[in-house]
Amino acid sequence: MTDASNNTTSNPNTDQNASSDAQQDASMKSKRKKGLTIVAIVVAIALMIYLIWTFIFSNSVSTDNAYVNVESADISSMVNGQVAEVLVKDTQQVKQGDVLVRIDPRDAKIALAQAEAELAKAKRQFTQTSANSSALTSQIAISEDDIKSAQAQVAQAEVNYEQAQLEFSRRSQLSATGAISKEEFTKAQSAMNAAKAALNVSKATLAQAESKRKAAQSNLAANEALIKGANQASTPDVLVAQAKLDQAKLDLERTEIKAPLDGVVARRNVQVGQRIAQGTSMMKVVPLVNMYVDANFKESQLKDVRVGQKATLTSDLYGDDVEYTGTVVGFSGGTGSAFALIPAQNATGNWIKVVQRLPVRIQLDPEPLKKHPLRVGLSMEATIDLRSDTQTK
């Protein structure tokens, strides 16, 4: 009886132990299942991240070290003078051809009038030179007549001198015999001397006429050299005067300084009444189109970057909602530190390697700029698609 009662009392404990073990096993299985599920989720997330990186992020490079830039126009004076009007102010938008500054034009107008007078004078001198040729030709013809007349006078004087010599010789013989008086001998001698002097005078007159002819011929040759093969419009003096006139007209036009392109006025530093010299910078006109971005990528990012690749950009001004597109057009010739005012000196004992950045120029597409204009110096975030160049090919 005692054994039976003992057996009867031990069965409930055994059942409780078996039930507890079963619960523990179920709990362990549940925990193991949750652990495996978590591990599977982590593996799936890691695989997804790897796939996203492999197919999306590994095919692009990005940087937020990028800034808007543009080729701005430096407005400077091409003439000296006093500023009469300043028609624009900073931040004002202007169109190509708008007058920005007027310089007092009175000095330029005086120079223009002087150049016009010099041109008229040069043309008259050409006309006068042409007329001188005709006058010199006539003078040569007159000199020819004078030479012929002088030659005739020389011939006549030679005949007279020969006759006077014969008469003097005859009188000399008669004077020796006493057939004539000394007075007649003296007259014959004087007549011979007078005939000789007349011959010398006629020869001098002939030489003078020949000299005049040579002088007229030289003047004619020099005159013809000035106008030979030229007309009034092509003679050198007229061309020089015409060039001075063109320069004077250009200087007068330059007293009105106009905008070379569409843009916004910046850094205006000119005032009315200011005396400015040629080359003085007065302001800048910054265009709102043809802008580009200088994106400073790390050197470790540039292995696969090529000219022609496409880029997407966002601006801090408009946020991520506005996206710009562009194209890589070139790389800088050196890093920013290489072109610094004081370049880094790495050959030192305490050298620490610093990752360098190289400016990459990205030309912005014009359509997004028309809708959302940018300004020089604004911060941008640039992403270059490394696959775009191969897709384009």
The answer to whether residue 134 sits within a structural domain is yes
What confidence category does residue 215 fall into, taking pLDDT thresholds of 50, 70 and 90? confident
Look up tokens 């007309």; give the residue: 231
pLDDT surpasses 60 at 376? yes
Question: Tens digit of pLDDT for each residue in 143-192?
Answer: 777 788 888 888 888 888 888 888 878 777 777 776 777 777 788 788 88
317 or 9, which is more confident?
A: 317
How far is 184 from 172, CA to CA, in rounded Å?
10
Contact 385, 59 (CB under 8 A): yes
pLDDT grade, residue 12 (50/70/90)? Answer: low
Q: pTM of the prediction? A: 0.60
CATH number of the domain to which 295 belongs: 2.40.30.170
Q: Are residues 242 and 315 in the same domain?
A: no
Residue of 384, 378, 385, 382 whose CA lies nearest to 318: 378
Q: Is residue 4 part of a domain?
A: no
Question: Do the beta carbons of residue 336 and residue 381 sit within 8 Å?
Answer: no
Same domain, 182 and 313: no
CA-to-CA distance for 103 and 84, rounded, in angstroms?
Answer: 5
Same domain, 112 and 235: yes
242 plus 301 within the same structural domain? no
Number of domains in the chain: 2
- Structural domain harbouring 206: 108-249
Residues 112 and 159 both lie in one domain: yes
pLDDT band at 225 (very low <50, low <70, confident <90, very high): low
Q: Do 176 and 66 share a structural domain?
A: no
The verdict on 119 and 233 lying in the same domain is yes
Residues 229-258: what's their mean pLDDT?
A: 87
Given 203, 223, 249, which residue is the final one in a domain?
249
Tell me: do 326 and 226 sit in the same domain.
Answer: no
User: For 365, which DSSP code?
Assistant: P
Distance, in Å, from the CA atom of 100 to the CA atom of 281, rounded to the nearest integer, reads: 13
Band the pLDDT of 391: cuts 50, 70, 90: very low
For residues 244 and 291, membership in a common domain is answered with no
In a domain, 239, yes or no: yes
Say if residue 295 is in the same domain as residue 368.
yes
25 within a domain of the structure (yes/no): no
Give the chain's mean pLDDT: 83
Percentage with pLDDT > 90 across the chain: 42
- Where does a domain end: 229, 249, 269? 249
Residue pLDDT, tens place only, 44-95: 888 887 666 666 556 889 999 999 999 999 999 999 999 999 999 999 999 9
What CATH code is carried by the domain that includes residue 166? 1.10.287.620
Q: Count CA atoms closer than 13 A to 7's CA, side-chain side.
A: 4
Given 201, 223, 249, which residue is the final one in a domain?
Answer: 249
Residue 84 lies in a domain: no
Asked if residue 358 is part of any domain, the answer here is yes
Dist CA 108 CA 117 (whole Å): 14
